[in-house]
Homo-oligomer: A and B are copies of this chain.
Amino acid sequence: MDSLFHWFDLVGVAVFAVSGTLVAYRKKLDGFGVIVLASVTAIGGGTVRDVILDAPVFWLQDQSYLYSIFVAAFITIVWVNKNKDFPQIVLEVADALGLAFFVVMGVQKALDYGVQDMTAVLMGTITCCFGGMIRDVLARQTPMVLKSELYATTCILGGIVYTQSLNFSVNTEVAMVLSMLATLSLRLGALKWGWSLPVFHYVKSK
């Protein structure tokens, strides 16, 4: 189980590193600017989660995460250089997959540290969203998490599905799959059909 979690974490780190590398490409960054964006996207959220939980930071004693970032960034660079372009959908699906993996990992780790359900859902959301948030701030673009296409909302939904499944004594593996399916389908649906969550009634729309 721990080993399965470790692989999930590595895959989540890799897809987020791909998303960071693609943003670096679109911003015409070079050299280690790519590595910086790939790294903060991939391990930023989990680092903030671990620091807040006062847990040992997950990549500190285990270099496999850093290798995962380097390999993912390298493959992305080779692919982008060969194909000169990439569809927006690739970035968005990579991101959605990262969300689905990370929300489960974040909520589970928070539960391991004994916090209550609502706080655990918040920690899962931080794991998902803070890496991309730091990436967007550094790349000087509006943080994706603040835009209206249900970005943070999908993390919160995925976290609620996971904690509630556990509360109803669902098997952990099943709860993980349910949560990831919920996150993925809400996020991809929001991207495809432009779902949003209006809160303020602005006088003139847009």
Contacts and interface: CB of A to CB of B under 8 A. Distances in A.
Interface of A: 24-25, 27-37, 47, 51-54, 56-57, 59-61, 63, 66, 77, 80-81, 84, 114-116, 118-119, 122, 129, 133, 137-140, 142-143, 145-148, 150-153, 156, 196-203
Contact of A143 (B34, B51, B138, B197): B138
B148 A200 contact: no
Contacts of A32: 145, 150-153, 156, 197
Contact of A29 (B66, B118, B146): B146
A133 to B, nearest CB: 7
B116 A197 contact: no
Contact of A52 (B47, B119, B129, B147): B47
Contact of A119 (B51, B53, B59, B197): B59
A115 B63 CA distance: 9
Contact of A138 (B54, B57, B146, B203): B146
18 contacts: A28-B200, A28-B202, A30-B196, A31-B196, A31-B199, A32-B152, A32-B197, A33-B145, A33-B146, A33-B147, A33-B148, A51-B51, A53-B60, A54-B54, A54-B56, A60-B115, A63-B116, A81-B201
